[in-house]
Chain A
Amino acid sequence: EAEVAQSPRYKITEKSQAVAFWCDPISGHATLYWYRQILGQGPELLVQFQDESVVDDSQLPKDRFSAERLKGVDSTLKIQPAELGDSAMYLCASSLGVTNTGELFFGEGSRLTVL
């Protein structure tokens, strides 16, 4: 069964360091999402791609976060420099398109701990 792949599963870093997360969506899924899930809270959308284009990054802290999906397939989310408050689970999800069916397919997530 096709799944959304994410790596690394776990990342421990010191504050002020750079960190990157990778996501490979389900083949054929044009829409890709990065969510941040702080412990005890629900996921919050950071950025949404339609193919290689960003369609919503209004909640992405652009001074330190960046995201790209150069060929419209896999995507990378980068944080530089990392801060203590960035400790969270970073979830990648994909969907076939942008019609609002709401069915997103999630990866297992990348758990970041900033020391």
Chain B
Amino acid sequence: AQTVTQSQPEMSVQEAETVTLSCTYDTSESDYYLFWYKQPPSRQMILVIRQEAYKQQNATENRFSVNFQKAAKSFSLKISDSQLGDAAMYFCAYCSSLEYGNKLVFGAGTILRVKS
């Protein structure tokens, strides 16, 4: 079974600075998807960024980018120019391309605090 590990329970960043959240995963599959989801306090979880394992190029979405290291099974999220609205719980998630349906396996999450 696939597992996702987020080793940083909590991180802090100064507004306008850059922060990197770490994620490692374990799988025997070669084709899969990786995601970062954001869960703001008392609000719904939303997709931040997605990476297909067959793509070597790292995904970017505005201030959010990933560092995908397939051999190392590492998938970190970099947030540039951090804003107060970035404060949330961030979940790394894995999705097999072989299993039926969008079954996501989540990590335990990292709480990101943004200081003004």
Q: Which residues of A pack against B, CB within 8 Å?
A: 3-4, 31, 33, 40-45, 48, 50, 55-56, 91, 93, 95, 98-109
Contacts and interface: CB of A to CB of B under 8 A. Distances in A.
Given A100-B102, A101-B33, A91 B45 contact: yes
A104 B104 contact: yes
Contacts, number: 72
Contacts of A98: 100-102
16 contacts: A3-B44, A41-B109, A42-B109, A43-B104, A56-B101, A99-B102, A100-B97, A100-B99, A100-B101, A100-B102, A101-B33, A102-B35, A102-B50, A102-B102, A102-B104, A108-B43
A50 B4 CA distance: 25
Interface in B61-116: 91, 93, 95-97, 99-104, 106-109
B11 interface: no
B16 interface: no
B105 to A, nearest CB: 8
B13 to A, nearest CB: 21
Contacts of A106: 44-46
A33 B45 CA distance: 13
A3 B45 CA distance: 11
Nearest to A111: B42
A41 B107 CA distance: 7
A42 B47 contact: no
B101 A103 contact: no
B55 to A, nearest CB: 14
B18 to A, nearest CB: 24
